[in-house]
Amino acid sequence: MSSNSKSNSLQNYPTPLSPPLPSISRDIELARAMTASSKSSLFGLSGRDVLYEDEWLIAVNKPKGIYCDTVLASVPRFLSDSPDSDQLCQENQSSTLELHLANRLDRDTSGVMVITKSHKVASMLVKAFTNHKVQKTYVAFCIGSAPQSERITIKSGHGRSKFGAWRVYAAGDVGRKLPGGSRVRDMETTFEVLSINGQRGYREPSECMKDEENSIVVEEKAVTDVDAKKDEILVRAFPRSGRTHQIRLHCQYLGASIVCTRATFSFVRIPKFNKLANRMHDG
């Protein structure tokens, strides 16, 4: 292929609309990946990591910097070494455990992972996630420009740029091909502003639902003002989709970088799993 043909081919790829990443970000990402690989090779699930267990599933706290598949791979050894788990297996399961990840977390994110012990339960949970019967809620502390609206829903595209970084793309680019062969996927998050610089105070979701919502459909590059005042912003985020770094990407696009997050989830119209969620939240 000639240089002109290559140039024309590259021009057909959609353009990322996220604020530009600093040049040092590549070195930071490489260092994180190397650290995660090292930590993951030494990781072993222990009793203090287990939040809940029964004959159907086990809920564990995934540490930051550990891959989900590493946690999954460590479960059989933990179960074989645990007297309580052995008893559960003997009483309720007559065949070999069929372990599946019910949910995933980003490598650098800590939080609850649910691992099912049978194909049947895994199928139920996959269906629940697919049908949006599982609601994921994140409370995030951000630094940046305070939004004008108290409730914002942002819709955009999501994908990897030519440098391999996850970026925000235009909503109109969903379905278009990206370098490497992947395609832009849809991404949607609703944010509720809980407080700005400590003002307003924390509110329950039912109270936030009364606020007028501002909808943003991303079609243009993010505009950043480096001289703008940096506020401390507490937001509650409800990701409608489950894309990698979704909340971080949308916060970044809105002009506020995440400092830390806390995640919970609940099951809608599934009583058995709601009891599980309550047990994990109480713990």
- Residue 40 CA to residue 197 CA, distance in Å, equals 38
Region 252-281: mean pLDDT is 66
SS3 percent helix, strand, coil of the chain, rounded to 5, is 35, 30, 35
Element (H, E) at 178: none
- Active-site residues, by number, are 106
Whether 115 and 74 have beta carbons less than 8 Å apart is answered as: no
| pLDDT at residue 273, rounded to an integer | 55
Under the banding of pLDDT at 50, 70 and 90, the label for residue 124 is confident
Residue 258: is its pLDDT beyond 80? Answer: yes
Region 120-147: mean pLDDT is 85
| pLDDT one-digit tens code per residue, 71-92 | 999 999 888 876 655 455 544 4
Name the CA dihedral angle for 88, 92, 94, 95, rounded to a multiple of 10 degrees: -70
Which domains does the chain possess?
25-132 (3.30.70), 137-267 (no CATH)
Model pTM score:
0.71
Task: List the alpha helices (DSSP H) in the chain.
Answer: 3-11, 25-42, 68-81, 83-92, 119-130, 205-208, 246-254, 271-282
